[in-house]
Structure 1
Amino acid sequence: MKYAVTSKGDNKSNELMQQIKDQLDSLGVIYNEDQPDIVISVGGDGTLLYAFHRYSSRLDRTAFVGVHTGHLGFYADWIPEEIEKLATAIAKTPYQTVEYPLLEVTVRYSHGGRESKYLALNESTVKSVGSSLVMDVEIRGESFERFRGDGLCVSTPSGSTAYNKALGGAILHPSIPAIQLTEMASINNRVFRTIGSPLILPGHHTCMLKPVTSDDFQMTIDHLSLLHKDVKSIQFRVADERIRFARFRPFPFWRRVRDSFVTD
């Protein structure tokens, strides 16, 4: 068993990271930052997003587990007081894994050449640079609508509780292989019209955005912000890859939703 640890970077998270290292080292677990079997994220959901992107090339060989040092997270199910218990479980307990769907984003350019591909754990957003976004939306290769507004967000099921929820999107259970398209302040009047509702696309469907009035876009892939120029199209689909989480005990999704948004 080989492990690595990522930290949010604040004092509390760094101290917990060192405690985890000390505990696992004493139990004979090998620290390997380059080729870990398990990655322990200490901080919050943002820290785990960072860990996911850092190890995205090893998704079939690496599982993730989160320790939250602030508010309860959707990806972090252990608390600081359980560090010793977690270390013992990692060292001595065969763990199960649960897999969550990911979003694949492919950006193609007008001048041809190499396309850009990304994986997102939470979501990807698209906004125009300096003006309203105008995009032709295609689903499964067929024209669906011409969108005008502030932007569009495409999320995974596990990311449906993040920005997607703030935009009025549905919360999807992460066992469902799907993606969700939500609008940001669409323009709807007697001239312009969009569907106005979130769209949930199954795993065998693709969503394609094609520029109408501009080809420069500000995009996000989870916490990463990227400027793309001379864009011909942006394609979204459920990725073939999946993220794996190490489970040493039950961590019910709907309980997390309730605890995060409903209970005090």
Structure 2
Amino acid sequence: MKFSITSKGDSQSNALMHKMRTYLLDFDLVYDESQPDIVISVGGDGTLLYAFHRYSSRLDKTAFVGVHTGHLGFYADWVPSEIEKLVIAIAKTPYQVIEYPLLEVIVRYQHGGKESRYLALNECTVKSVEGTLVMDVEIRGEHFERFRGDGLCISTPSGSTAYNKALGGAIIHPSLQSIQLAEMASINNKVFRTIGSPLILPGHHTCMLKPVNRPDFMVTIDHLTLLHRDLKSIQFRVAKEKVRFARFRPFPFWKRVHDSFISDAD
């Protein structure tokens, strides 16, 4: 088996990375950063997001596993004290592959420019470069609303616990092939009106945003921030690709939600 390790970059994460690499090489596994079968993320959820985007071109061949070295990571279910146990599991135990849906983002430009395609593990956000964001929202090719406000967040089920949750969106189990659209500080008065509630779209539905006044926008894809000029539309749907996680033991979604957000309340 070929493996690679991505570290957060702090001293603890780097030390664990070197220790795991040494152990796995002792088990005759092959270190391969270009074509790994399994990618170990050591750090937090941000580290795993970085690893996901680094290997997004081979999602059907690579599985991810996370070790968290700070606060409990939502994607990382192993702790530093379990490094030896994890190494033995990787080297000796066939792992279960759990697949989660991803968000496909297609940005199209005015004047026939080449479109850009992205995959998001957590979410995509759209904000105006300056002033209020004004976007026509289409669902399945039909006009739904004209949004005015700070921005819009389109998330995956696994990403529904991230920025989407802070915006008041629903937490969605990642077994559901869906995406969610949540508003950021929408303007609602006698003149302007939006739905005001998060929308959950099934896998066969497409959401399209079309600019009304300005063609330049700040678009984030997970941790990446991009400036898009002369924008014609942004299309969202459940991607045909999936992210694959290597599971060596049960890691129930609702337990993860509980441990991440409310376990201290017990």
Q: TM-score range by the shorter chain?
A: over 0.9
Q: What is the aligned partner in structure 1 of residue 35 from structure 2?
A: 35
Give the Å deviation of 1:233. Answer: 0.3
| CA deviation vs aligned residue, 1:187-239 (integer Å, no higher than 9, x gap) | 00000000000000000000000000100000100000000000000000000
| Cα-Cα RMSD | 0.4
SS in 1 for 2:196: coil
Q: What is the aligned partner in structure 2 of residue 115 from structure 1?
A: 115
Q: Does 1:139 align with 2:139?
A: yes
- Residue type at the aligned position of 1:229: R
Q: What is the aligned partner in structure 2 of residue 16 from structure 1?
A: 16
| CA deviation vs aligned residue, 1:158-208 (integer Å, no higher than 9, x gap) | 000000000000000011110000000000000000000000000000000
Q: Does 1:202 align with 2:202?
A: yes
Give the Å deviation of 1:74. Answer: 1.2
Unaligned runs of 5+ in 1: none
Q: What is the aligned partner in structure 2 of residue 242 from structure 1?
A: 242
Distance 1:21 1:65 in 2: 14
Task: Compute the TM-score of the two structures, normalised by the length of structure 1.
Answer: 0.99
Distance 1:232 1:46 in 2: 30
SS in 2 for 1:51: helix
1:42-121 map, 5 Å: 42-121=42-121
1:159-238 map, 5 Å: 159-238=159-238
Q: What is the aligned partner in structure 1 of residue 5 from structure 2?
A: 5
- Residue type at the aligned position of 1:15: A
Distance 1:153 1:52 in 2: 20
| Alignment size in residue pairs | 264
Unaligned runs of 5+ in 2: none
- Residue type at the aligned position of 1:155: S
SS in 1 for 2:111: coil
| CA deviation vs aligned residue, 1:50-95 (integer Å, no higher than 9, x gap) | 0000000010000000000011111101000011111111111011
Give the Å deviation of 1:113. Answer: 2.6
Distance 1:172 1:139 in 2: 20
Distance 1:108 1:94 in 2: 42
Distance 2:87 2:49 in 1: 22
- Residue type at the aligned position of 2:218: Q
Task: Compute the TM-score of the two structures, normalised by the length of structure 2.
Answer: 0.99
